[in-house]
Amino acid sequence: MTRVLYAEDDPQVVQMVQIYFAHHVPDWTLDIARGGQECLAAMARGGYDTLLLDLVMPDLDGLQVLGELTARRDPTPVIMVSAQGQYDLAVRALRAGAADCIDKNSPDFRRIHEIVRHTLARLRRHARVAAAPPRAHRVLFLDADPAERRAATLFFQTGAPHLQLDTDAPAALARFTAGETTFDAVVLGPNWPAAAMLDALRHLRTREDDVPVIVVAATAPGETAVAAFKLGAHDYLLHGAGWLPELVFSLNQALKLADTARLNAQLTDELAALNQSLADQVAARTRELENEVLVRREAEHRAQSLSTRLLRVQEDERRALAQELHDQIGQLLTGLRFQLEAAKKGGPLDEALTLTDDLLQSVRALTLSLRPRMLDDLGLSPALDWQTKLFARQTGIAVELELSLPCVRLPPELEIVAYRVVQEALTNVARHSGARAAVVTVTASDTELHVEISDRGRGFDATAALARNDSLGLAGLAERVRLAGGRLEIVSQPAQGTRLHAEFPLPPPAG
């Protein structure tokens, strides 16, 4: 079982992520930490496969938590969760060793479970590399200013003891490029002239080993930074407040990548030999899997076709029954009423006429409920307008209807599905929510149709209901939406109301 810890202080974001995980990966365990300190305590207990870490929290921010986990040498992969305007922080987190970064305001946030799965799969493929024992790294810091070199030495001794920093004047670069000294990384300090710095990068490129080089510049990046990156610089940092912690973050990331590349190179030959011996087995198994996939796809296609035909037959039966009620029973009752009216002389016939009128009204209501003629004749907008008004009269629940649909008719099957989604959702509002008002919104763009019904009633545990899958109403509604090619999302919590949202793809316009 995969265990995930999510450090997040926003309860609404937490609720959304819990719903996504419960619906898509119900066999995973998702624990929540409400702040940085609570996250560090949970990570100290261990047992998690990955950590989702919010960048901004009230007690400790994500970078501080990430730094503490790095100091602990915690190998758990960390995926940062950022918000709008936190790009710089996210970049710093990736430099500090985060495996990935997700923007909670982007559409990709709905795929957070897939991103976690892919990250874990990628890291497991490189498990041999990740499991390699850590080693001490030697870093050469070159700068013309002795005070700058002393400041860097003092900071690394206390803030990054796992990195052995050797400082020297720029002239020492010649001994390194000639192979007289050995280092795992090189830092060009802020007191290098631009031309000399670029020339140093050219000399470093002549070495056979790929040693990461980080440039610390005294001025803001520009053409010089572009030139530095083209000449192979791993990073280009601006000298200023907080530049030394930034340098440590960048060095950690660069050295990790360099170690990974070195070990991957050692494994390449072994993998090539294994791949050669396994090629035939993989090809044979691939053919078997392709045949299995074809059989499964054919079975799924037949099952979907059968379900679609079943829904179509149900709608046809509703239409036929409604027509029969209107043409046969309705006409008979109308004729009966005319006869009673003609024979009326007062007395008992009054009660018979009243019963006949009630029966006619019931038959008309049943006919419209089964299949409103206006849905076929006039389209979705008039049908929804009639349905919501009828619902309000029958239940006393006020319904606010917001429509934004194109002038041209939607495909008939899609109009039926949208109508049934609203009908079923309003029925659930009346039966279960206890709300006195509901909002129905149906809008269409060039590519999608959106149907949403919300209320502020008593709500329910949507995560548990979807996980149990024991609600026939919800299951039938979800199946109807799925067969129409759409997606259904239900967001609800006890005492917080309910929001049901369905979206369907629209076919491209003809011509």
pLDDT digits (tens, 9 = 90+) for 395-411: 999 999 999 999 888 99
245-257, pLDDT tens digit by residue?
Answer: 889 888 888 888 8
Outline which parts of the chain fall under CATH 3.40.50.2300: 3-125, 133-324
Q: Positive or negative, the Cα torsion across 91, 97, 102, 103?
A: negative
Highest mean pLDDT range out of 55-59, 150-154, 228-232, 345-349? 150-154
Q: What is the mean pLDDT of the chain?
A: 83
Res. 308: pLDDT tops 80:
no
pLDDT digits (tens, 9 = 90+) for 436-479: 999 999 999 989 999 999 999 999 887 777 666 555 567 778 88
Residue 73: partners with Cβ closer than 8 Å, 6 or more residues away: 134
| Predicted local confidence at residue 452, as pLDDT | 97
The CA distance from 167 to 165, in Å, is 6
> What is the pLDDT, as a whole number, of residue 94?
76
Residue 74: pLDDT over 80: yes
What CATH number has the domain spanning 374-505? 3.30.565.10
Predicted pLDDT of residue 85:
65
CATH architecture for the domain at 133-324: 3-Layer(aba) Sandwich (3.40)
Q: Say what the pLDDT of residue 208 is.
A: 65
Q: Please state whether 460 falls in left (phi above 0), alpha (psi between -120 and 50) or beta.
A: beta
Hey, what CATH class is 3-125 in?
Answer: alpha beta
| CA-to-CA dists, residue 238 to 100, 168, 346, angstroms | 24, 20, 101
Q: Mean of the pLDDT values across residues 310-332? A: 63
Please, what sign has the CA dihedral across residues 179, 183, 184, 186?
negative
- What percentage of the chain carries pLDDT values higher than 90? 37
- Name the phi and psi angles at 401, rounded to 5: -105, 125
User: Model confidence over 112-168: pLDDT tens digits?
Assistant: 888 898 888 877 766 544 444 556 799 999 999 999 999 999 999 987 888 899 999
Residue 81 predicted with pLDDT over 50: yes
Instruction: Quote the pLDDT of residue 47.
Output: 93
pLDDT at 457: 93
% of the chain beyond a pLDDT of 70:
81
Looking at the chain, the domain(s) classified CATH 3.30.565.10 span 374-505
Please state, in angstroms and rounded to a whole number, the distance separating the CA atoms of residues 417 and 274.
Answer: 53
Helix residue spans in 53-86 (DSSP H): 62-71
* Residue entry with tokens 């008002």: 437
The C-alpha atoms of residue 50 and residue 66 are separated, in whole angstroms, by: 13
Angle of the 243-324 helix axis to the 146-159 helix axis, nearest 10: 50
Least confident piece of the model among 61-75, 193-207, 348-362, 389-403: 348-362
Residues 64, 39: contact at Cβ < 8 Å?
Answer: no
The alpha carbon of 431 is separated from its chain's Cα centroid by a whole number of angstroms, namely 32
Report the pLDDT value the prediction gives residue 178, as an integer from 0 to 100: 86
User: Tens digits of per-residue pLDDT, 288-307?
Assistant: 888 888 888 887 776 666 56
